[in-house]
Amino acid sequence: MNFFRFMFTKTFWIQVVLAVVLVFVLCLGYLYWLDWYTNHDQRIEVPSLEKLTLSQANTELEELDLRSKVIDSSGFNPEFPPRTIIEQNPKAGKFVKENRQIYLKMNPSGYGMVTVPNVIYKTKRQAIPTLQSLGFEIGEITYKPNYAEDTVLEMRYKGEVLESGTQLRKTSVIDLVLADGKRPVTTPEDSK
């Protein structure tokens, strides 16, 4: 019963009004602090960093109070110079706040090394797609007398015989020596 009587007193209503004013002032103060802390309405346009080296990009970002972080070195892209930026996040033209980190993907210095598979005595139809799927290019195809028509007898790289298991750069040109399906000509000296 005393509580209901207290609700209608002047002291109770003063306490309620003080509590509402205090909550309002704290909320207002928090909003102003949040505005200041998050740099509200600050906009820095992200520059285009593609085809720049990492040191050039860092210099440009430091002038704008931005930071960089390399997140990946993707597969070699011949459309970009080696060891340059090929992708960035956020993209160029987007707006960010100061001290924001810009994530970069770099172009490696060249194509990676790939192991040459064993395609000796495989047909031309098997060997060429196998080599191309690994990123090699097929160069000159020559023929040599042998019964097994269109079978790979040798692989060559820059004129030298190429052994399977050798490491070559992706996009290297491999020449193939195939069997022509004709009987090899033997001389009396070969039978000795």
Domain containing 90 equals 44-106
Tell me if 135 sits within 8 A of 111, measured CB to CB.
Answer: yes
Last residue of a domain, one of 68, 86, 106: 106
Of residues 11 and 4, more confidently modeled: 11
Rounded-to-integer distance, Cα 4 and Cα 1, Å: 5
If one counts every other C-beta atom within 10 angstroms of the C-beta of residue 52, the result is 18
Residue 150 lies in a domain: yes
Express each pLDDT in 44-68 by its tens digit: 899 999 999 999 999 999 999 899 9
pLDDT of residue 8: 80
In whole angstroms, give the CA distance from residue 157 to residue 159: 5
pLDDT tens digit string along 126-176?
A: 999 999 999 899 999 999 998 888 899 999 999 999 999 999 988 899 999
Q: What's the CATH number where 78 sits?
A: 3.30.10.20
Whether residues 87 and 69 share a domain: the answer is: yes
101 domain-assigned: yes
What confidence tens digit (pLDDT) does each residue in 17-26 have? 999 999 999 9
